[in-house]
Chains A and B, each alone.
Chain A
Amino acid sequence: MSSSTEWPLWEVFVRSRRGLSHTHAGSLHAPDAEMALRNARDLYTRRNEGVSIWVVPSAEITASSPDEKDSFFEPAADKPYRHPTFYDIPEGVKHL
């Protein structure tokens, strides 16, 4: 069989509970999507961490470049009015 270096890399996203969003858990190698799901189940949910898994081919992810960090993110730093800090959060609302 092929060595792991010939298998594509997959990014794994796990939803830990209903109502929460999927969170990046890590990555793994697998020959195809179905096996990637199963490997993800074994690697990232074996201690009861999840109720749902997504796997995405790493090659399909377009990431922002560290070189663009300043133009992408710096301008947001001095705009406090964009934060919902002027609202009272109702009691009982979690994960906001």
Chain B
Amino acid sequence: MTPAAVPPAPVTPASPETGTASPADGAPALHAAALALGDDALVLSHRLGEWAGHAPVLEEEVALANIALDLLGQARVLLSLVDDEDELAYLREERAFRNLQLVEQPNGDFAQTIARQLYFSVYQNLLYGQLADTESPLAPLAAKAGKEVAYHQDHAEQWTIRLGDGTAESHERMERGLDALWRFTGEMFQPVPGLDLDWQALREQWTARVTEVLEKATLGVPEGPQSGAWAAGAGREGLHTESFGRMLAEMQHLHRSHPGASW
């Protein structure tokens, strides 16, 4: 990441640069919310999919792929609310993505992937939980996806506890993964336009849960800032970290090479 070289991003959350007009129902805030949550799910889904063929054991490969597919399903529903899902996924430039920087971080080793899963799934579960109780048109999706996300959280917590309270090496790797991603956790609690949620409560509940799990795992809560001046709201405003461009290139190249191809 080269923060100094990044010019300020235009704060226009709901303007996917696809060249097609959004449905004219006039709901820019809803679109912004669906885009933010949809991009979180899409990008994390792709990252988890990268484990296919590389997971430490076959059983875990299936588990990660299942989680990836759950997230992809959520992404499809959310992005379809905004515009054509394929155009949004495959034809947007990096700056038009509104996902958190946390979910685009590379997989690292298995412990780092679990750290990312822990931070994000606890957040997503709390967020969907709140969202399901609102009048938002996204509430039914949040209620349905909540069951999937509860399992993602359980998976991440189980592994965090086993790696943290495992061998000296697994403990150290888990600690390293948690530390490396801590600086991206602050962005999760920046209010998203179109989501009428109690972000302060979300942050408190997230911190309480993560602290509880890490204690059980004999791990400490990482120290240091949860975001930096360079990162305030960055992913949600279209500013992304270095590895995201490469991830997008891999995700989009087939569609861009063969526009409109099908099987």
A residues lining the B interface (CB < 8 Å): 1, 3-4, 7, 28-32, 34-35, 38-39, 41-43, 46
Contacts and interface: CB of A to CB of B under 8 A. Distances in A.
Contacts of B15: none
Contacts of A39: 59-60, 62-63
Contacts of A34: 158
A1 B170 CA distance: 7
Which secondary structure dominates where chain B touches chain A?
helix
Contact of B62 (A4, A30, A35, A42): A42
B26 interface: no
A30 B163 contact: no
Interface string B93-110: 000000000000000001
A1 B110 contact: yes
B56 A43 contact: no
Interface residues of B, number: 17
Given A35-B158, A38-B154, A42-B66, A28 B163 contact: no
Nearest to B62: A42
A41 B148 CA distance: 13
Name the residue among B57, B58, B66, B155 with the largest chain A CB count within 10 angstroms: B57
Contacts of B57: 3-4, 7, 29
B183 interface: no
A46 B59 contact: no
Contacts of A30: 59
Contacts of B62: 39, 42-43, 46
B216 interface: no
B66 A35 contact: no
Given A1-B163, A35-B162, A38-B158, A28 B59 contact: yes
